[in-house]
Amino acid sequence: MDMNFINEATEYLPATIPDVKHYELKVLEEKLEKLYVGLDTMKAHLFTYQNQCTIEETRNILNPDLANLIDEYESIQYKLLDILKLWQRKQALAILSEPLPCHLDEIQYIVEILMDRIEDIKLFIATLLSFEYEPKLENHSQRVQRLQHVLIVSSFIVEEQPPQVKKKLTKFSAKIRWLIANKLNIHSSNPKVVCAVLSEAQVKEIDLENLQIPVIHQGSMSGNECEMNYDNDSRRFSAEFANLAITNIDRSERRGSESVKDEKCALLFYTTVNVGYPIKCGALTLPMVVTVHDMQAPQAWATITWDNAFSSIKRVPFKVPDRVHISEILEMLSMNFAHTTGRSLSYENMEFLRKKLLGTDNGLVDEYVSYAQIARDKIPPEHKFTFWEWFYGVKKLTKEYFKETWMSGHVVGFISKNEAKRILSLEENGTFLIRFSDSVIGGITVAYRDFYGQLKIISPWKWQDLQTRSLSDRIRDVDILSVVYPTRTPSVLAFCRSTHANRVTTRDGYDGTMELRVQITSQPANNFCQQTQQQISQTANSEHSLSSPNNNDFEILKEIMNEFLSSSSSEGYQSDPFL
């Protein structure tokens, strides 16, 4: 593996980094095989020199070879641990749309071989020491013992991370794995693993290679003890926590504009085992934010997303840069949106977001954006909400109400009114495009070109509107919306499916589907375009054909009509021209 790349990565890792490659692990395996051969050669020499040389001569011959052997072992081990750190970094990037890291079984295989080789080296040194004590050999022994300790504690990892934003008192899961498998016979004792929640300050004080137990923690948890079990077939030595919950958390003193939603913590999983001497192992999770109310989740995810995207492999917990180049911000936003909705952002989408973040059409090459601009400052000119609140609301709306439509490319999404006006001015009458609203959190709107080429826009629909009637249904309700941009697909094909059925209840208790149609027509008069006329019709269908209408039927139809007429003005069926 290219170690220069690893060293550079510790300074800064872009949003996408290469995954661990199988051939890189194969190289380490081949080096370990050579190490094994070298150790066997030294063993053979030892027995030869025993018969032909004095003890002092034997020491003088084997000591340099032994030092070189340990150097080579140390080099292989630290390369493997760098690969493991890279694997752990990929866990954080998986939140942003990266695939989950793989090759953990292959990494474990190398760990197991390393455990075998270090035991062989320890045994060889012990054999030499049994002939006669020698200070250099004792130094070798202590060095090898230290290397083995580092390998044991570093291979105790969080295989499956808990949710990084979690509400207090709600259950969640996590999985711990020890990559030493059945080595040192630790698995036979089924060690108990304990979980504790730590503040950022407490995490900074933790030294996982020299863990102090009991651990000072920040709060209390339930379901936080679990035994490790070894599976002979898969060779996996793990502990699965299925019912973890943070029952209480002590908040740290906050600085300046910081809030609960900015406060990061982590979980520490730890255990103690005995291998002739006690070993205390611990593994930290990725940073978490613990919330109390659901409304705190968007801001909490802003904190976590920034940390996952821009943290480095080796850092002081949980240090991240306060300002990042705009190109890296846009890459992060695209990956995050794709992870949630299934499709990344286009170049035009990202250009729109760049202008929204920088507040200008003329962005500089060296323009940087701070975390405060993303998650704390209100967006001008209205200053109603932050950029992240707006972006998160759009992402959530897309995922829950029209994900398939977005993935099919029928939604332009992030585009300004002026750009929408320019595009539609070049299209045929009846063409429309769907864009995310600038004026509300979690809103979507339709801009279209009517029969006379006038450009109009429908007031934004929010989740409450799409919950009662789907986007596809609402598009089909308006007859003028005939071709969707940019796919230029007829709307009858692009929006032929409805993900949310609209139901009415008949007098006998059965559900019937309610269809609402809005027909927009234009009639010329004296070379004027008269006011748009809306003709509304509705039908109620059910499994049972209704007999002659009675008062209840008329009352039901009257209620439906009144409800529709009252909602049409608020939901945006009235068209407003572009400003």
220 and 134, same domain (yes or no): no
End of a domain among 122, 154, 186?
A: 154
Structural domain total, the chain: 3
End of a domain among 293, 328, 349?
A: 293
220 and 287, same domain (yes or no): yes
**Which pLDDT tens digit goes with each residue over 424-444?**
999 999 999 999 999 899 999
What is the CATH classification number for the domain harbouring 161?
2.60.40.630
Task: Give the pLDDT of residue 221.
Answer: 96
Closest listed residue to residue 104, CA positions, set 196, 278, 238:
238
**Which pLDDT tens digit goes with each residue over 468-511?**
999 999 999 999 999 999 999 999 999 987 655 443 334 444 33
Q: How confident is the model at residue 253 (pLDDT cuts 50, 70, 90)?
A: low
Q: How confident is the model at residue 234 (pLDDT cuts 50, 70, 90)?
A: very high
Task: Give the pLDDT of residue 34.
Answer: 75
Asked if the model's pLDDT at residue 419 lies above 70, the reply is: yes
448 and 576, same domain (yes or no): yes
For the segment 390-401, the average pLDDT, to the nearest whole number, is 96
Q: Structural domain of residue 125, as residue ranges? A: 3-154
Q: How confident is the model at residue 366 (pLDDT cuts 50, 70, 90)?
A: low
In a domain, 431, yes or no: no
- Which residues have C-beta within 8 Å of that of residue 464, sequence separation ≥ 6? none
Distances (CA, A) of 285 to 223, 246, 332: 17, 14, 21
**Which pLDDT tens digit goes with each residue over 145-165?**
999 999 999 999 999 999 999
In a domain, 173, yes or no: yes
Task: Give the pLDDT of residue 15.
Answer: 41
Asked if the model's pLDDT at residue 282 lies above 90, the reply is: yes
Report the mean per-residue pLDDT for the chain: 81
Q: Which two tokens stand for residue 234?
A: 């898969």
453 and 529, same domain (yes or no): yes
Task: Give the pLDDT of residue 181.
Answer: 96
Q: Which two tokens stand for residue 517?
A: 């149609």
**Cα–Cα distance measured from residue 189 to residue 181, given in angstroms and rounded to the nearest whole number:** 13
92 and 125, same domain (yes or no): yes
Tell me how many helices (H) and strands (E) the chain has: 17, 24
What is the CATH classification number for the domain harbouring 127?
1.20.1050
In a domain, 344, yes or no: no
**Lowest mean pLDDT across 14-23, 96-105, 206-215, 566-575:** 566-575
108 and 162, same domain (yes or no): no
End of a domain among 261, 293, 325?
A: 293
226 and 282, same domain (yes or no): yes
In a domain, 515, yes or no: yes
148 and 165, same domain (yes or no): no
Q: Looking at the DSSP assignment, which residues form a beta bridge with residue 485?
A: 433
Task: Give the pLDDT of residue 572.
Answer: 39
In a domain, 88, yes or no: yes
- Which residues have C-beta within 8 Å of that of residue 337, sequence separation ≥ 6? 343, 344, 345, 391, 395
> pLDDT > 90: what percent of the chain?
58
**Cα–Cα distance measured from residue 350 to residue 482, given in angstroms and rounded to the nearest whole number:** 28
Task: Give the pLDDT of residue 94.
Answer: 87
In a domain, 384, yes or no: no
In a domain, 199, yes or no: yes
422 and 565, same domain (yes or no): yes
237 and 209, same domain (yes or no): yes
142 and 198, same domain (yes or no): no
Task: Give the pLDDT of residue 215.
Answer: 86
99 and 164, same domain (yes or no): no
In a domain, 131, yes or no: yes
pTM: 0.78
Closest listed residue to residue 460, CA positions, set 302, 332, 561, 574:
574
User: In the 3-class helix/strand/coil scheme, how is 149-185 assigned residue by residue?
Assistant: HHHHHHCEEEEECCCCEEECCCCEEEEEEECCCCHHH
